[in-house]
Amino acid sequence: MNLSSLKPAEGSIKTRKRIGRGPGSGLGGTSTRGHKGAKSRSGYSKKIGFEGGQMPIQRRLPKFGFKNINRVEYKAINISTLQQLAEAKQLTTIGLDELINAGFISTSQLVKILGNGTLTAKLAVEAHAFSKSAEAAIQAAGGTAVKLYKE
């Protein structure tokens, strides 16, 4: 065996079909495109959602709903989570930096504290919004709820 005698395995290599090379090839004429119509022409590309002339689904179905451009999206964090964080790290104040370091939020998210769970630690909590029950629970435990302004 030497380099000049190497060949690929039998049947593993297939030559591509060369169309549009005259009548002698057997693949000239319409070049496997059939007769007439948009698909036989050069430069044909079907529009997105085209259904062969049938009224497309995006035009048959009515539009509904809207996106409120003034919507404010908050990341919800319960007071039970604040309690666990305070116990684990021995914190007295919980602000955005502590929540980011703990991995609960990213730097761009707004935070809303919700009242699910129980809070026993006396905490000063800083967030963008508080539910009434969360604010009451924080104050009942002797802490303070400080609202931050949205940037």
Q: How far apart are CA 48 and CA 57, in angstroms?
A: 11
Q: Which amino acid belongs to residue 28?
A: G
What is the structure's pLDDT at 150? 74
Q: Domains in the chain and their CATH numbers? A: 74-147 (3.100.10.10)
Residue 111 Cα distances to 9, 60, 100, angstroms: 64, 41, 11
> Which pair of structure tokens corresponds to residue 82?
């604040």
Q: How far apart are CA 41 and CA 109, in angstroms?
A: 52
CB of 131 closer than 8 Å to CB of 111: no
Q: How far apart are CA 42 and CA 52, in angstroms?
A: 18
State if pTM tops 0.75: no
* Residues in the chain with pLDDT values less than 70: 151
Q: Report angle CA 105, 108, 111 to the nearest 5 degrees.
A: 50
Longest dimension (CA), the chain: 94
CB of 104 closer than 8 Å to CB of 75: yes
What is the structure's pLDDT at 149? 86
What is the structure's pLDDT at 6? 94
Q: How far apart are CA 18 and CA 97, in angstroms?
A: 65
Q: What is the enclosing helix (H) or strand (E) of 75?
A: strand 74-78
